[in-house]
Structure 1
């Protein structure tokens, strides 16, 4: 009988959320995968480490430093939203190091003010007002689909993340601006050599389905999973998404 060493999986969280979004994946994959979920630059306990807009390339450089410090030579990536922006850049920079990549509620597009629509003033409001109940409501509509926001079976997850978002510091604005003003990286997609699983929600306001289709079209070895959920599939449909992600990462 051979011992199985858990496969390292670097999990990169979304803006407004934190590494706890991957707790369900870590629990389900215990003994099969080793979840490594760093706090991204300018967020969570590192929110005061920056004093100006944090770019996707800066966050990528920071995560790569962590990966190098850990001595990881080959690993998989899981990223949601902003975490996906960073995962794409890592996979393109170090194609030989990536075993597999999972992109949840992600895209490779630049963010335009036109696409932001009614959300365009959110960074200024966060800086000025902090995470008031009204702003928390707005963030919840970005992070979770319409079905999740009214489903009585999802009440616990809504209440958990609503309370966490309400506790966020106004200084998160530097990371928010980084996402809202990000440059695109569609040109990097063909450089990704690892097999990719793209999970997209029909109710995702932040990264609409057509944006995930670009990932599917651009990454050479990609599969696309689409269901009725919003921006945070691993939280909104964990009973479906977690096993599928785990099976993709470690198909034993």
Structure 2
């Protein structure tokens, strides 16, 4: 597992581990790293099958296998307790860890995540897989921003998106890995077990998320005993990129409050 450590370096420093969504890249959290680095030892990592970790996503094991990858990093660093922030699929990893290893998780942040996949999200993934299988990698990558960002933001960041497209094609994680990762997040269901998670949790969602209905976050905030909901009108699925300053203030308030 490839991981990077930012910010505070002392082993005893308060630590937060960041897990990205389907793209699986630790670089997804770039807008948050500087804000967190003055307060925490910040750990980002590339999921199995992605980026510098590479390799093949196991055919079985689902989200639990992805959480086991995190535990490999935890063991190597000797972490005994840490904060965890996950975006979408990364949030599912956080929920799995909080259920299986509650002693490890201090505060939990879930960004546009879910306890059980919504049928609408399934429709979106069907379309994306059809693009991948019928039209190829370039079409799959080019469609990705449509599910991540508001239209106005894409209009204002056309050059950046073109660069992201080129990078996404050049470093594509592979059709088999994408298919298996989507299958894992679709199969994930801890809806009936939310009451077992005692960690203080910040649930962040946006009403204009095209990929994951914000009602999934409402369900998380209602089902988790110690959850706080931060719901905004705009920002879409990748709200931490669209509105990083607002996102970072809310995040630090929760972590340091």
Q: TM-score, normalised on structure 1?
A: 0.85
Partner Cα separation in structure 2 for residue 89 and residue 210 of structure 1 = 20
Shift in CA distance, 53/12, structure 1 to aligned 2, threshold 3 Å: same
Kept in 1, the 8 Å contact 2:50–2:173? The answer is no
Aligned to 1:229: 235
| Offset from partner CA, 1:164-190 (integer Å, 9 cap, x none) | 333342615424433243321212321
- Which residues in structure 2 correspond to 1:180-191 (within 5 Å)? 180=183, 181-191=186-196
Is 1:140 the counterpart of 2:145? The answer is yes
Q: Kindly indicate whether structure 1 or structure 2 has the higher relative contact order, using CA contacts under 8 Å at least 6 residues apart.
A: 1
- Output the TM-score relative to the length of structure 2: 0.84
Could you tell me which residue of structure 1 aligns to residue 4 of structure 2? none
1:10, CA displacement in angstroms? 0.8
SS for the counterpart of 1:109 is coil
The verdict on how the C-alpha distance between 1:192 and 1:146 changes in structure 2, with shifts beyond 3 A counting, is: farther
User: Unmatched 5+ residue regions in structure 1?
Assistant: none
**For residue 68 of structure 2, what is the aligned residue in structure 1?**
61
Aligned equivalent of 1:179, options 168, 182, 207: 182
The equivalent residue for 2:6 is none
CA 1:68 to 1:48, structure 2 compared with 1: closer, same or farther past 3 Å?
closer
Which residue is equivalent to 2:42?
35
Confirm or deny: 8 A CA contact 1:26 1:34 kept in the other structure.
no
1:165 to 138, 151, 168: 168
Residue 239 of structure 1 pairs with residue 245 of structure 2: yes
Q: Distance in 1 between matches of 2:61 and 2:137?
A: 19
Shift of 1:162: 3.5
CA distance in 1 between counterparts of 2:204 and 2:71 reads: 24
In 2, Cα distance between the equivalents of 1:70 and 1:97?
A: 13
Over the residues paired in the alignment, what is the CA RMSD in angstroms? 2.4
Structure 2 residue ranges without an equivalent (≥5): 1-9
Work out the CA distance in 2 between the residues paired with 1:239 and 1:155. 21
The partner residue of 2:81 within 74, 81, 106 is 74
Which residue number in structure 2 is paired with residue 108 of structure 1?
115
